Amino acid sequence: MKSADWDLDAAASSIAPGIFYWKSDHKCFAFESFVCREMFDAFQHPNFSFPTEFLPEKKKWPQFFFDCFVELKSISPKDYLARKPDSTFAKFCRTKYLQLIHPRMESAFFGNLSHRNQVVSGNFPETTFFAMFAEMAKRVWLLHCLAFSFQPEGNIFQVSKGCRFSEVYMETIAEDELPNDGMEYDPSVAFTVVPGFKIGKAVIQCQVYLLNSKPR
């Protein structure tokens, strides 16, 4: 985005409006938050809301999703997509790419919409940019498969702006920027950067950015 001369302040404000950052370069967390929000959208559905995809009866989900996890875990996403271009994972990659990368953004990055056109037509671009995206998509998909391998299945959670910070369910992504001047500070959440997960009684904390009441 920097190399394409985007207005990063405006872009960050469109994602998380009204936030005063502890440091100016912390705006990167707004972009990370956006990527996670889009990539994990519909995570709670067994097939990421692809209603036509096959699913066995629910009692067979743990083995089914674990087999899906094992199948993809040790192969590169590029090779898997080439072998199974009509798989649920391939559909996930197409859907998430179109959801995450706005046409105006792609045009600013590359000067054309070649990636998008290939994805829409059912193909996968053979570029470093798409390879990095596919690797990210693979990790989200593997996490999804793993979550549904448990009985009961794992659940995803995020925290809304203004919620009081809880060390049980959250960790701050920029802890070094908390006030250390001795003043009392009751931390609350500005936005969730990376979602958290509950698996049975176990909690994997979400990562949050904390509110700063005054601009620097």
Give the confidence band of 59 by pLDDT, cuts at 50, 70, 90. Answer: very high
Mean pLDDT of the 48-57 span:
83
* CA-to-CA dists, residue 6 to 17, 32, 104, 139, angstroms: 17, 16, 11, 28
Give me the pLDDT at residue 177, please. Answer: 60
Give the whole-angstrom CA distance, residue 60 versus residue 35.
31
Give me the pLDDT at residue 182, please. Answer: 53
Mean pLDDT of the 35-50 span:
91
Q: If residue 207 lies in a helix (H) or strand (E), which one and from where to where?
A: strand 206-210
Joined together, the tokens standing for residue 166 give: 């809880």
Arithmetic mean of pLDDT over the chain: 91
Of 10-14, 18-22, 49-53, minimum mean pLDDT range: 49-53
Give the confidence band of 134 by pLDDT, cuts at 50, 70, 90. Answer: very high
Give me the pLDDT at residue 159, please. Answer: 95
Give me the pLDDT at residue 6, please. Answer: 86
Give the confidence band of 47 by pLDDT, cuts at 50, 70, 90. Answer: confident
- Bridge-based pairing of strands 206-210 and 170-172 is parallel
Q: How many CB atoms lie within 10 A of CB 37?
A: 17
103 burial level (CB within 10 Å; 0-12, 13-18, 19+): exposed
DSSP of 22-69:
SSGGGGHHHHHHHHHHHHSTTTTSTTTT-TTS----GGGHHHHHHHHH
